[in-house]
Amino acid sequence: MQTSALPDLAHTATKPVHWLATAAAMAGVVALAGLLQPRTATATAPEERARTQQNAPAPDPAGVEFPLECGGAGTKVAEHAPGDLDGDGRPETVAVVHCDAGSGTPPSGIYVLTRGSGAAPRIVATLVDPADRKTVKDFAVREATVSANLLGYSSTEVPRCCPDQEEQASWRWQGDAFVRASGDLARAV
């Protein structure tokens, strides 16, 4: 005969009355939890959140340090415009910037600014790099599209005051980057 090392556990034998008592206790807990809900919810509806974000101000380009090599001349924000370019409900700012040369036609850069997790705006994209030696004309931001006419030079022999090429370009956010579309072929001015 085999003897068990464990004591007789009579309390582990379940009967239907035990299951009924457990179900009744759980129903009571659920009902009590339903009665103890907060009276007013503090969550913001998605539509209200979107309106709040749209009312947020676009980043101000005044305090941004743009990546231009200007010597001691400093930089100048020639134009800027706000727009929700990526569809997240928060406006970005697109800025046309060049060296503050005082005379001549310094090359421009087009930069997209957003408000980071802190209060200071930051550059998130460069649409036109000043190294491309283009001057920006007729700049606009409409319906999540940035557009500009880019003036350039066919050779180093062309005086820097008088660009002889013009190209229409636009940029639109697609996926996770700005995609550039050019107008008809670049044409001589």
> Could you tell me the mean pLDDT of each successive run of 10 residues in the chain, 189 residues long?
55 70 76 64 49 70 90 90 93 95 84 83 94 92 95 88 91 93 53
**The pTM is what?**
0.67
**pLDDT at residue 2 in the model:** 56
Contacts of 172 (CB under 8 A, 6+ apart): 85, 144, 145, 146, 178, 179, 181
The CA radius of gyration of the chain, in Å to the nearest whole number, is 32
CA distance 24 to 100: 79
**pLDDT at residue 28 in the model:** 73
Which amino acid does the sequence have at 36? L
**pLDDT at residue 8 in the model:** 59
**pLDDT at residue 10 in the model:** 56
CA distance 99 to 78: 10
**pLDDT at residue 96 in the model:** 97
**pLDDT at residue 49 in the model:** 46
**pLDDT at residue 98 in the model:** 94
CA 90 to chain centre: 7
**pLDDT at residue 161 in the model:** 79
Q: What are the strands, taking DSSP E only, across the chain?
A: 75-83, 92-99, 108-115, 121-128, 135-142, 145-152, 165-174, 177-182, 187-188
Contact 154, 165 (CB under 8 A): yes
Return the closest-CA partner of residue 130 out of 158, 102, 103, 100. Answer: 100
Phi/psi of residue 159, nearest 5 degrees: -60, 140
